[in-house]
Amino acid sequence: MRLAGNVIWFIFGGAYTALLWLLGAAIFALSIVGLPLTRAAIEMAKLSAFPFGKDVVHVRELDGKGLTPTTAVTGTIGFVFNVLWLLTFGLALCLSYLALGIIYCLTIIGIPFGLQCFKLAGISLWPVGRRVVSVELAETARRHAAEETFARRRTG
């Protein structure tokens, strides 16, 4: 089902939006200051092209899975870049994806595509420090992070 959803999504707009995000990433990459936004735009392009079977997680949830918080902009600097993103592109993108998601959800066939629009709306607001991964990896990372948090609170 993921493959069919991704193929339909890609043909009817996913390829176009992914290319726009990659163009935005190239523009952000022209300045050294824009590199964290470049990474965020690339993550958006990955999700925009093939959203079915993908989820978004914070890099802290991926600790021990190949990424650590030091490999992405996090903390105060990440907050500043996310605010910059929100004020330049994030709010407009979020509202666009929300409107499109509502329109898709008006039909039964469009509901899965509407849900993907809502997922894209969520990451379009605050993408710096987030990564697009498979649903299975996201679930495993969240479970592992929850177990670590539980263990710390139980012993502390």
Number of domains comprising the chain: 1
Domain limits for position 45: 2-56+70-135
pLDDT digits (tens, 9 = 90+) for 25-45: 888 889 878 888 888 889 888
The distance of Cα 6 from the centroid of its chain, to the nearest Å, equals 16
Q: Does residue 65 sit within a domain?
A: no
Give yes or no for residue 66 having a pLDDT over 60: no
Q: Does residue 63 sit within a domain?
A: no
Q: Does residue 143 sit within a domain?
A: no
Q: Does residue 152 sit within a domain?
A: no
Q: Does residue 30 sit within a domain?
A: yes
Q: Does residue 46 sit within a domain?
A: yes
Q: How far apart are CA 51 and CA 154, in angstroms?
A: 37
Q: Does residue 146 sit within a domain?
A: no
Q: Which of 35-39, 68-72, 90-94, 97-101 has the highest mean pLDDT?
A: 97-101
Q: Does residue 62 sit within a domain?
A: no
pLDDT digits (tens, 9 = 90+) for 106-148: 999 999 999 999 999 888 888 888 888 999 998 998 888 888 8
